[in-house]
Amino acid sequence: MKLLGMITLLAENSVCHQKLLLEAKRKLGEILSAFEFLDHGAMDLVLKHLEGVRNPFPSSMHNFYVLIETTGSSESYDR
């Protein structure tokens, strides 16, 4: 069985996403399968041109977003 986890976070600035990537690599190790960084402009394009996609933080647009995805096969290990 393959387990998938995903979280979208807000980053204060472009330096924060670099620190977050290092921490995600350190803590998640081999189950880290994707780390995506989007700025305001990229998120705006996604929301305008991809059908069915919604803003994960609907109250407003933010400067930077980070999406982290994990994939594993052991529920007890991958938590």
Domain ranges of the chain: 3-72
Predicted confidence at residue 3, as pLDDT, reads 80
d(C-alpha 63, C-alpha 41), whole Å: 8
Would you say how long the chain is, in residues? 79
Percent of the chain whose pLDDT exceeds 70: 92
Burial class (CB in 10 A: 0-12, 13-18, 19+), 65: buried
Residues of the chain falling short of pLDDT 50: none
**φ and ψ at 50, to 5 degrees?**
-110, 115
Predicted confidence at residue 25, as pLDDT, reads 96
Predicted confidence at residue 1, as pLDDT, reads 65
Tokens of residue 18, six digits: 């670099």
Predicted confidence at residue 77, as pLDDT, reads 59
Domain 3-72 coded CATH 1.10.1060.10: no
Alpha helices in the chain (DSSP H): 14-28, 40-49
Predicted confidence at residue 33, as pLDDT, reads 94
